[in-house]
Amino acid sequence: MAGKQSPSPTLENYHVISFDDGSEEVEAHIELMELAIQQANLARPIETAFNVGSLLVHGRQIISTGYSREIPGNTHAAQCAIIKSRSTSQAHLVRGSVLYTTMEPCSFRLSKNTPCSTHIINAGVKKVVIGVKEPLTFSECQGVRRLLEAGIEVVHLKILEEQCLRPNIHLLS
């Protein structure tokens, strides 16, 4: 069901969590990724883009949420969370925050819109937790690599991959 995925980078600030060891850290990742999945489920399925959900988090505090096309203009989930964060009272916490996103942030957009990885780098996010790498349905995503090259830590939480892909099942058959 996961389909073909591009090879994982092996840089030092890339971490994979493959199973739930019951630690506080992994439990927190799971809890927050489940909230990101709830966001992904709010996106209306279309044939030309994935349904993704994102959260910006500082400590245990959620700064903002976003899902695919939430804001008019063919927007993406991480982009929406970053845009929405600017009008919250916690906007000052975005620099140094953690982004949870059900799918790897995009590195290139056919529409020529700014890719999510650029929005994330520019916002000063320090860590990105992804639920699944972007399947090769539309393009070969280099999002994780771009984030790592920008010095951002990336955690691939593999425990909820099925749930992260489920809102996109219409694109993956």
Size of the site for Zn ion (CB under 5 A): 3
What does the alpha-carbon distance between residue 28 and residue 74 come to, in Å, rounded to a whole number? 31
- By CB under 5 A, residue 119 contacts Zn ion: no
Structure-token match 């929406």, residue found? 80
Fill in the DSSP letter of residue 49: S
Query: Shortest distance, CB of residue 124 to Zn ion, whole angstroms?
Result: 18
Find the shortest distance in angstroms from Cβ 109 to Zn ion.
7
Cα 129 to Cα 28, 31, 158, 172, distances in angstroms? 11, 12, 10, 22
157 is an interface residue for Zn ion by CB under 5 A = no
Which of the stretches 28-36, 92-100, 105-113, 162-170 binds Zn ion when contact is defined by CB under 5 A? 105-113
By C-beta, is 29 or 69 nearer to Zn ion? 69
Task: Report, in Å, the least distance between residue 170 CB and Zn ion.
Answer: 19
| Residue entry with tokens 């925050």 | 97
Cα 126 to Cα 30: distance, rounded to the nearest angstrom: 19
Among 116, 130, 141, 160, binds Zn ion (CB under 5 A): 116
First to last CA, the chain: 7
Evaluate whether 54 touches 101 at the Cβ level (below 8 Å). yes
- Contacting residue, 33, 37, 43, 106, with Zn ion by CB under 5 A: 106
Region 61-90 residues binding Zn ion, contact defined as CB under 5 A: 76
Please tell me whether residue 62 adopts helix, strand or coil conformation.
strand
> H/E element holding 18?
none
Give least dist CB 27 to Zn ion, A.
28
133 sits near Zn ion (criterion: CB under 5 A): no
Amino acid at site 17: I
CB of 131 to Zn ion, least distance (A): 14
Residues engaged in binding Zn ion (CB under 5 A): 76, 106, 116
